[in-house]
Chains A and B, each alone.
Chain A
C-alpha cells in the first residue's frame, strides 16, 4: 500500500539556519503530496502541496518540490524562525486529497 517516510526527529536548529526535512513516498498511482504543520496545542494545518511531478509548493518561506524520479517531497526553508517550531507531517493522497497517508512526523525546535 501507499506509505510515507520522513526523516526522524527531533530536529533542533538555531534561528536563521537552513532547514531540510526529508520525505519519500511509495504509491501505486500518481499521488498528490502535502506538508502539514502542527503547532503546540493545535490541529494540523496545511502548509503546502503539490499535485503533479515537478510542481513546487510554497508557503511562509517553506518550499517542497514533487520529485517523481526520486519519489521525494523534501521540505526546505532558507532561514528558520523560532515561530517555526512545530511538528511537520508529510502526507500523500491519491484520491482527491481526501484520504491522507501520513509520515511519522518530525518535531522541529528552533532556538533563538
Chain B
C-alpha cells in the first residue's frame, strides 16, 4: 500500500538552530501534503497545506517565517523549523494523498519528534 516516509524520526537541536524535516511519498504522487503538530496528550493541529510548485497555505496563528515549507516535487515536501526554541519542541506529522483515485485516503508519516534544548 501507499507509504509516506518521514525523516528524521527524532531530532534534538540547540536553541537558535534550524531543523529540516522531510516527508516523502514513496510509491505515489501527491500534489498536496499536510503538516500537523501534536502536543503531548493533545490533538493533531493542522499547521499548513503544502502545494507542489506553489506557496504553502498556513493555518491561522502559524508563523510562516518560522515554519518554512517547500514542496519542490510531487513526492517530497520539507518543513524547516527556523531559529528553533524550546517551545517548538513537539511531534510533527505529515500526510499526503495519492492523486488517483480521487477518493483515495490520506496516508500519514510516522512523525518526527523534535526536542529543542
Contacts and interface: CB of A to CB of B under 8 A. Distances in A.
Output the residue of B32, B34, B43 with the most chain A CB within 10 A: B43
A45 B107 CA distance: 7
B44 interface: yes
Contact of B109 (A43, A89, A100): A43
A104 B45 CA distance: 9
A101 B110 CA distance: 18
Interface in B1-50: 4, 6, 32, 34, 36, 41-46, 49
Nearest to A36: B108
A17 interface: no
Contacts of B106: 46, 97-98, 100
Output the residue of A42, A49, A98, A101 with the most chain B CB within 10 A: A98
A101 B46 contact: yes
Given A43-B110, A45-B108, A100 B46 contact: yes
B85 to A, nearest CB: 24
B42 A98 contact: no
Chain B interface size band reads 20 to 34
Chain A interface size band reads 20 to 34
A51 B7 CA distance: 32
A103 B43 contact: yes
A44 B36 CA distance: 12
A89 B44 contact: yes
B103 interface: yes
A99 B44 contact: no
Given A89-B43, A89-B44, A105-B43, A98 B97 contact: yes
B41 A98 contact: no
Given A89-B44, A104-B43, A98 B34 contact: yes
A100 to B, nearest CB: 7
A97 B101 CA distance: 13
Contacts of B49: 99
Contact of B44 (A41, A97, A102): A102
A4 B45 CA distance: 12
Interface in B60-111: 93, 95, 97, 102-103, 105-111
